[in-house]
Amino acid sequence: MITSKANPRIKNIIKLQKASERISQGLFVVEGFREIDRAIRSGYQLMELYHCEELTKPYQLESLFDNLPKFTGLENVTLDVFEKMAYREGSDGLIAVFKSKYNELSELKLSSNPLIIVLEAVEKPGNLGAVLRTADAAGVDAVILCNPLPDLYNPNTIRASLGCIFAIQIATTTSEKAIEWLQQKEIDIYCTYLEASVDYRTVDYTHSSAIVMGAESTGITKPWISSAKQNIIITMRGIADSLNVSVSSAIVVFEALRQRKK
């Protein structure tokens, strides 16, 4: 049992709350049974696993080890050590360290008629996580992150996605490279944009489509606007002139899904 908060492994988990450490070490932390279980089932490499007996339910460990028969890195920690490690309140006593995975555009495996979400410079990790949860629910082929501000494995992104981040194909790139790749794949681009736009419900998404969302404060950049087959808009009936990016993504993506099911 680890009893000291000064233990080097415990101190490193706290370091991994910083994006610079996650990127330099190629590691990230996942907290909670559901999220850890989904990362394991999605093929992420588990490096370390910690639990607090006072908080963890026995069936949770049994379930995790059913999928990890050869893993021997389980560590028990005291309650005060766990509370030092934990990023969020009300945890179930499980924290894990995983190896990071990053996909290139060329590594994405698409269906014959793909539906893709593109996010450009989304600012808040919670919003990113919520979009990833929507992407999983809608069964999109992939999510492309262009010029992202939060790093992919921010704890708030993982938490907001409810672990769906691990089940989705995600590629990180620049807007220019993403546009070139989509054009090469003959995937039509639809950008949410206020000017020169049509109602999002009037567009045909039944063919290969990429739906592009930008940051709430600045919107999408000019290269996307000029590359779009059509710019689209969600009509506002109140005083608000925009919606949260995760809400906008869900509205348009599920319209595309509705059309594809007809």
DSSP states along 149-195: SS-TT-HHHHHHTTTGGGGS-EEEE-HHHHHHHHHHTT-EEEEE-SS
First to last CA, the chain: 57
Longest CA–CA separation in the chain, Å: 63
Could you tell me the pTM of the whole model? 0.92
Spatial contact of 142 and 14, defined as CB atoms under 8 Å apart: no
Q: Quick one: pLDDT at residue 169?
A: 97
Backbone phi, psi, residue 199, to 5°: -60, 135
Q: Of 77, 88, 84, which is closest to residue 55 (Cα–Cα)?
A: 77
Residue 129 pLDDT: 96
Number of Cβ within a 10 Å radius of residue 114:
18
Q: What is the pLDDT of residue 210?
A: 98
Fold observed for domain 8-99: 60s Ribosomal Protein L30; Chain: A; (3.30.1330)
Q: Are strands 94-99 and 46-51 parallel, antiparallel or unpaired?
A: antiparallel
CA-to-CA distance for 197 and 172, rounded, in angstroms?
27
Residue extents of the structural domains in the chain: 8-99, 105-261
Q: What is the pLDDT of residue 199?
A: 94
How confident is the model at residue 143, as a pLDDT?
98
What is 105-261's CATH number? 3.40.1280.10
At residue 73, the 3 state secondary structure works out as coil
Query: Tell me: the pLDDT tens digits for 90-149?
Result: 789 999 999 999 999 999 999 999 999 999 998 899 999 999 999 999 999 999 999 888
Q: Which residues of the chain have pLDDT under 70?
A: 69, 196
Contacts for 44 with CB less than 8 Å, ≥ 6 apart: 98, 99, 101, 166
Tokens read off for 179: 């546009």
Instruction: Give the separation between CA 227 and CA 182, rounded to whole angstroms.
Output: 10
